[in-house]
Amino acid sequence: MTEQEPGPPGAATAPHGSAGLTEDVAIPAIPAEDGRALRLADPDAINTTLRTPAQRSRTFAGILVNTALANITTSYLWFALTFWVYLQTRNVIATGVIGGAYMLLIALSSISFGTFVDRYRKLAVMRFAAGFTLAMFVLSGIMFLLTPTAWLLDLAQPWFWVFTLIILAGAVVENMRNIALSTTVTILIEPDRRANANGLVGMVQGLMFIITSVLSGLSVGLLGMGWTIVVALALTALAFAHLLTLRMPEEVRAAASDAHGGFDLRGSLAAVLAISGLFALIVFSTFNNFIGGVYMALMDPYGLEMFPVELWGTYFALGATGFIVGGALIGKFGLGSNPLRTMLIAVIVMGVLGAVFTLREWAWLYIAGIWLYLVLVPFVEAAEQTVIQKVVPLPRQGRVFGFAMAFESAAAPITAFLIAPIAQVWIIPYARSAEGAAQLAPLLGEGTSRGIALVFLIAGIIMIAAALLAFLTPVYRRVSASYVRTGAEAPETADTDSPSGG
């Protein structure tokens, strides 16, 4: 797992670090001057002259494909777990807890993930994450084989929570690879093509949702949970084996970093605050995760009430093609002169979609709403990634991406944990009562899922209001001006050690 490609003659020999990774000797940093961001004195850590841009792009494509396979596998098992639990229990609290726990674990662990990405070479981080995920999925298979199904599905017993946490732990650690992937864009891709590369990442995420939703629904419906775990194990092992064959010689050694320990919260926060307006950018991109928490808790139950599990997976796959369309649009047209404005417009439209796509219990309206929503997700994600890759020095990007993931991921569990019990105990029973159905019918029509539709409507209105208010704030104007100024001042060739302007 620690094997790396050989560096050129004279490269420093790396001592063994912790966690099965290879950490390089730290190189002192130059103190900050005039309040500007820290410049880390390791200009030779990345050598992009070893290969042509085309060769580096092919390596990035290999890493992207490998990450796609790994993400497909972890999402496949996670989606299958959600489908299986709901179909067996018909309890939205269970699905809300699974989704919320996943995002909460990401929020709690992302700063550690970013710290390790900064301290170690990127392929070593990816290999460690792949190996850990494989081990967790093996453990989940053993537990499923040895534990009676009735015990696993009893929310009052510890077996359900242990089984769920084992699968979620494997899926969460896989996200360390996504942070490392964002830094490989900086290492391997020319600055003027990074927005396009981030668009490709969005397309890969869309492909992941398409394949995952189809396979998970069919797998649970036709094979059962046991064989689903077997398939996940085989695909995870395949991705791990392929990852061992990849090489990235441009990363001669891990870039000198001021990261410390395994959870550098202080360093992560300092790296974010060193860039004027970067924290506000992260706050802006968090808006879509509030409504994302509602989707996480209630989208699958709504779909499973409307369709059989096999068809729901297929229809969700159709909606997920929006990811590919969104990524392709970014690759073709970019993000405009002000990515922050593009981001907030996308969030407003997401709120509109969330408010209207369940106003009637019509299959075409639901699928079309999901499709349009997922078209917009890559714009929000790519806008943030492109700005960070441009203004944050590479030795700090891991912690910045990790901090952003932690901050943004924390929004979804809040809404998921809150809304699932509220919907299960109060809103859904009220909407299904004679009085509630009569009161909601003029606005939301008739159907068994009017309670969930009411939640979606309220969440969408809140999203629209929040994004509109953000447009009016002074900080939005300052951040927009700062991005334009930084883009004009920052030399495009300073990939590894240029300080960021503010």
Q: What is the pLDDT of residue 501?
A: 36
- CA–CA distances in Å: residue 245 to residues 62, 127, 475: 10, 11, 46
Using left for φ > 0, alpha for ψ between -120 and 50, and beta otherwise, residue 261 falls in left
| The pLDDT of residue 195 is above 90 | no
Residue 26: what pLDDT? 37
Using CA atoms, how far apart are residues 277 and 268, in angstroms rounded to an integer?
15
With 90 as the cut, is the pLDDT of residue 190 above it? no
- Distance, in Å, from the CA atom of 281 to the CA atom of 168, rounded to the nearest integer, reads 28
- Let me know: does 497 contact 39? Beta carbons within 8 Å: yes
The pLDDT of residue 409 is above 60: yes
Q: Is the pLDDT of residue 135 over 90?
A: yes
pLDDT tens digit string along 358-402?
888 888 889 899 899 888 888 888 887 877 877 777 777 788 888
Burial 183-195 (b: 16+ CB within 10 A, else e): bbbbbbbebebbb
User: Which token pair is 339?
Assistant: 């990515």
The answer, yes or no, to whether residue 131 has pLDDT greater than 60, is yes
- Can you state the percent helix, strand and coil of the chain, rounding each to 5? 75, 0, 25
Reported as a single tens digit per residue, the pLDDT across 425-446 is: 788 787 888 887 788 888 887 7
* pLDDT for res 70: 87
Q: Which long-range contacts (CB under 8 A, 24 or more apart) does 427-436 make?
A: 427/451, 427/452, 427/454, 427/455, 428/92, 428/452
Burial string for 71-107 (b: 16+ CB within 10 Å, else e) reads: bbbbbbbbbbbbbbbbeeeebbbbbbbbbbbbbbbbb
In the chain, the N- to C-terminal Cα span, in Å, equals 39
Q: What are phi and psi of 11, to 5 degrees?
A: -70, 145
58's torsion region: left (phi>0), alpha (psi -120 to 50) or beta? alpha
Q: What is the pLDDT of residues 199-213, one digit of tens each?
A: 887 777 667 766 776
Q: 350 or 387: which carries more pLDDT confidence?
A: 350
Distances (CA, A) of 308 to 314, 315, 332: 10, 10, 37
pLDDT for residue 30 is more than 90: no
DSSP letter, residue 448: T
pTM exceeds cut of 0.85: no
Q: What is the pLDDT of residues 99-130, one digit of tens each?
A: 777 777 877 788 888 888 888 888 888 999 99
DSSP string for 135-168: HHHHHHHHHHHHS-HHHHT-TTSHHHHHHHHHHH
Alpha helices in 147-276 (DSSP H): 149-152, 158-173, 175-188, 194-218, 225-243, 265-273
- C-alpha angle 258-171-309 in degrees, rounded to nearest 5: 150
Task: Considering only residues 138 and 329, tell me which one the structure prediction assigns the higher pLDDT.
Answer: 138
More reliable by pLDDT, 156 or 498: 156
Q: Which residue has the higher pLDDT, 37 or 449?
A: 449
**Residue 302 pLDDT:** 84
Say which residues have a Cβ less than 8 Å from residue 26's Cβ, sequence separation at least 6.
256, 257
The secondary structure of residue 423, as a DSSP letter, is I
CB atoms within 10 A of CB 326: 28
- Answer whether residue 38 shows pLDDT above 50: no
Per-residue pLDDT tens over the stretch 222-241? 888 889 999 999 999 999 99
3-class DSSP state of 51:
coil
> How far is residue 120 from each of residues 28, 126, 180, 222, 275, measured CA to CA in Å?
16, 10, 10, 42, 23
User: 400, 392 in Cβ contact below 8 A?
Assistant: yes
The mean predicted confidence, pLDDT, of the chain is: 76
Task: List, in sequence order, the alpha helices (H) in 337-473.
Answer: 339-356, 363-391, 394-409, 411-422, 428-432, 434-444, 450-472
Looking at residue 130, its pLDDT comes to: 92
Largest Cα–Cα distance in the chain?
A: 79
Cα–Cα distance between 56 and 50 in angstroms, integer? 9
266 φ, ψ (degrees, to nearest 5): -60, -45
State the Cα–Cα distance between residues 411 and 432, nearest whole angstrom: 29
Whether the per-residue pLDDT at 21 is higher than 60: the answer is no
Distances (CA, A) of 6 to 13, 250, 251, 253: 10, 10, 10, 10
Q: What percent of the chain has pLDDT over 90?
A: 8
Chain centroid, CA 81 distance in Å:
19
* Residue with tokens 């490709």, as numbered in its chain: 200
Q: Which one, of 245, 193, 234, lies nearest residue 65 by Cα?
A: 245
pLDDT tens-digit profile of 61-91?
899 989 888 888 888 888 888 888 888 877 7
